[in-house]
């Protein structure tokens, strides 16, 4: 069992907000300097989910393709995973006030839960510290000079690239071993730090057994990252990787 970095969560501590690290369409990440009761400090990444525009289906469609598709994903991803009670499932499908609240509330907790599980299984993910409503605190990957680059922006040479790819596949074996698919895996949701590949950004992760689309999401994840490595000149075969992963189910 991996030892929990408990001083990160032990109270009392004081937090100082060092400012915004990234601000995007789905979330804003701030860097927080946390000082524990014994004087030790650590940097924490605070992810704040931007309000999701969950309204009536038609209205969403009218607001633009992107939001409409993220709404569709929301329902699709959640199908078979979260809403086991038929009453809840119906509420989500009908987009009643209760259904909208269900969608909103479960988003944050889900990312925390998935990352806690993967962290315990030994995957290189930032330690998920705590969550509340629309805020999720996690271990910051990087140092005072800067955050870890996304794999996309890390300057890796041939051997470095091959090493990173092996780490991605090893990581995927752990994810699949836990019965999950990331659901949005890309060179933007992988970080490169200390010669390690870190997996991040799990709110849409799905359960492979419960979600009828689970294997499709896994296949898309594999295809997506393999395409990126291929473009960088690494000769990798997505179907081979996918087949290898299925053995770990």
Ligand X SMILES: Nc1ncnc2c1ncn2[C@@H]1O[C@H](COP(=O)(O)OP(=O)(O)OP(=O)(O)O)[C@@H](O)[C@H]1O
Residues found near ligand X in the complex (CB under 6 A): 21-22, 24-27, 29, 45, 47, 126, 138-142, 147-148, 150, 188-189, 200-201
How far apart, in whole angstroms, are the C-alpha atoms of residue 65 and residue 55? 14
Q: Considering CB distances under 5 to 8 angstroms, the limit depending on partner class, which of Mg ion, ligand X, none binds residue 9? A: none
Residue among 141, 146, 60, 74 at smallest CA distance from 106: 74
Least distance between Mg ion and beta carbon 92 (Å): 24
> Measured from the CB atom, is 138 or 215 closer to ligand X?
138
Distance of CA 37 to the CA centre of its chain: 30
Residue with structure tokens 């689309």? Answer: 213
Q: Considering CB distances under 5 to 8 angstroms, the limit depending on partner class, which of Mg ion, ligand X, none binds residue 125? A: none
The two tokens of residue 191 are 């970080």
Residue among 210, 224, 218, 205 at smallest CA distance from 244: 218
> Measured from the CB atom, is 25 or 87 closer to ligand X?
25
Euclidean distance between the first and the last CA atom of the chain, given in angstroms as a whole number: 21
Among positions 108, 189, 211, 213, the unique one binding Mg ion when judged by CB under 5 A = 189
> Measured from the CB atom, is 29 or 215 closer to ligand X?
29
Least distance between ligand X and beta carbon 234 (Å): 21
Interface with Mg ion, residue 108, by CB under 5 A: no
């Amino acid at each position: 069992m991996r030892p929990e970095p408990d001083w990160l969560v032990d109270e009392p501590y004081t937090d100082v907000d060092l400012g915004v690290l990234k601000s995007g369409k789905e979330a804003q990440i701030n860097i927080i300097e946390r000082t524990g009761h014994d004087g030790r400090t650590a940097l924490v990444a605070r992810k704040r989910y931007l309000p999701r525009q969950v309204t009536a289906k038609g209205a969403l469609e009218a607001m633009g393709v992107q939001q409409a598709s993220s709404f569709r994903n929301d329902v699709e991803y959640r199908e078979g995973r979260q809403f086991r009670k038929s009453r809840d499932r119906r509420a989500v499908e009908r987009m009643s006030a209760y259904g909208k609240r269900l969608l909103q509330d479960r988003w944050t907790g889900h990312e925390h839960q998935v990352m806690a599980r993967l962290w315990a299984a030994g995957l290189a993910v930032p330690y998920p510290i705590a969550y509340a409503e629309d805020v999720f605190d996690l271990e910051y990957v990087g140092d005072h000079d800067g955050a870890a680059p996304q794999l996309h922006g890390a300057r890796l040479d041939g051997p470095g690239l091959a090493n990173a790819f092996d780490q991605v596949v090893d990581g995927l074996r752990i994810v699949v071993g836990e019965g999950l698919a990331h659901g949005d895996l890309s060179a933007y949701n992988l970080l490169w730090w200390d010669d390690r590949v870190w997996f991040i950004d799990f709110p849409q992760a799905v359960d492979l057994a419960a979600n009828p689309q689970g294997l499709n999401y896994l296949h898309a994840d594999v295809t997506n990252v393999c395409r990126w490595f291929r473009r960088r000149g690494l000769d990798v075969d997505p179907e081979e990787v996918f087949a290898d992963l299925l053995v770990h189910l």
